[in-house]
Amino acid sequence: MKFFKIKSYAKLNLSLNVIKKVPKKLHIIESLITFINFYDLIYIRETKALKHKIKFFGKFSKNITKNNTVNKLLNLLDEQGVLKGRKFQIKIIKNIPQKSGLGGGSMNASSIAKFFLRKKIINLSKKKLSNIMKSVGSDAELGMNFNNTIMSKTGKLTIKQKKLGLYTLVVKPNFGCSTRTIYSKTKEQTRPKYNNPKSSFFSIKNIINSNNHLEKAAFILNPKLKKLKLFLSSLPNSICVRMTGSGSCMVVYYLSKKKALKGLRLFKKKYKNYWCIISKTI
């Protein structure tokens, strides 16, 4: 049986507001989310083996444990009997770095769940599927639709079809950030802003005026990250610079590819050993 190929896109948090601190858990947040044309590649096919077979390849495949999001998803689907005993061979080429805030692992799981739905391998209600994805990971449900998304403080996701058309310079220092640690050190809180989702939240003006409340804690824990943002903010022609998720990736947003490529050239002169890509919102 042939392999099916799936693109698992990276997500970006255009904004991330902490609404309330929750002891020993991830805080209550709201966020504006978009996706870029940069992805992990997933190859999947049914197998006659007695167990699922999952293998990771590529530059960022090292140190992925058995407790990964794809295993979690398959185990949950098996436990609920929705795969009806069917087993799958899955190969994932990891282009998205780990501990970057780009949601690579979560998007892998959601991309596979969408494949199962599209091929009618599983049949689940929206509520049941939502509960499964939340059990897989805090970001996993976001990847069920690769469109601009407004996440309110209740966790409700509102999809907006508006195309941003932004180019991005995405850079990652040679260290990652622990999501749990960053949240535990975050003290900032604000009143909810996205209770009434509007397309205007994705306007350039609103994006520029938005924030990521996790940056302050990330900068205290990793001073190099603060220096990185200061340098990126000095690059010409960018509209804003923001950390995505809990880091460690920083994203510079541009209105044209030409301007983004100039930023890339200047960045590479200063930071020769940091990972970086140019991409565009999808």
Annotated domain spans of the chain: 4-159, 163-280
pLDDT digits 0-9 by tens, 34-48: 999 999 999 999 999
pLDDT over 80 (residue 25): no
Secondary-structure percent of the chain, ordered helix, strand, coil, rounded to 5: 30, 30, 40
**pLDDT at site 142:** 96
| Burial bucket for residue 279 (CB in 10 Å: 0-12, 13-18, 19+) | buried
**pLDDT at site 198:** 95
Peptide bond into 100 cis (omega under 30): no
This prediction's pTM? 0.96
**pLDDT at site 1:** 83
| Angle made by CA atoms 61, 64, 66, in degrees to the nearest 5 | 135
* Residue pointed to by tokens 């799936």: 6
Find, among 51, 123, 122, the residue nearest to 89 by Cα.
Answer: 51
Least confident segment among 75-79, 180-184, 224-228, 266-270: 180-184
Least confident segment among 20-29, 60-69, 170-179, 230-239: 20-29
Find, among 130, 121, 129, 126, the residue nearest to 90 by Cα.
Answer: 121
Question: How far apart, in whole angstroms, are the C-alpha atoms of residue 121 and residue 105?
Answer: 21
- Identity of the residue numbered 181: T
Q: What distances in angstroms separate CA 206 from CA 32, 65, 202, 251, one per listed residue?
A: 10, 39, 6, 16
Question: How far apart, in whole angstroms, are the C-alpha atoms of residue 83 and residue 147?
Answer: 27
**pLDDT at site 161:** 85
Contact in structure between 69 and 140 (CB atoms under 8 Å): yes
- What angle, 0 to 180 degrees and rounded to 10, lies between the N-to-C axes of helices 69-79 and 104-118? 40
- Report domain 4-159's class: alpha beta
pLDDT over 90 (residue 26): no
pLDDT digits 0-9 by tens, 120-177: 999 999 999 999 999 999 999 999 999 999 999 999 999 998 899 999 999 999 999 9
3-state secondary structure of 137: coil
User: Which residue numbers are catalytic?
Assistant: 11, 139
| Angle made by CA atoms 181, 187, 190, in degrees to the nearest 5 | 125
Concatenating the DSSP letter of every residue in 20-88 gives: E--TTSPPEEEEEEEEEEEEEEEEEEEE-SSS-EEEEESTT-TT--SS-HHHHHHHHHHHTTTTTT-EE
To the question of domain 163-280 being in CATH 2.40.128.20, the answer is no
pLDDT digits 0-9 by tens, 241-279: 999 999 999 999 999 999 999 999 999 999 999 999 999
Furthest C-alpha separation in the chain: 56
- What angle, 0 to 180 degrees and rounded to 10, lies between the N-to-C axes of helices 104-118 and 126-136? 150
For the record, the structure tokens of 41 come out as 């590649």
Q: What distances in angstroms separate CA 117 from CA 52, 58, 96, 144, one per listed residue?
A: 18, 27, 24, 10
3-state secondary structure of 258: helix
Q: Which H or E element spans position 165? A: none
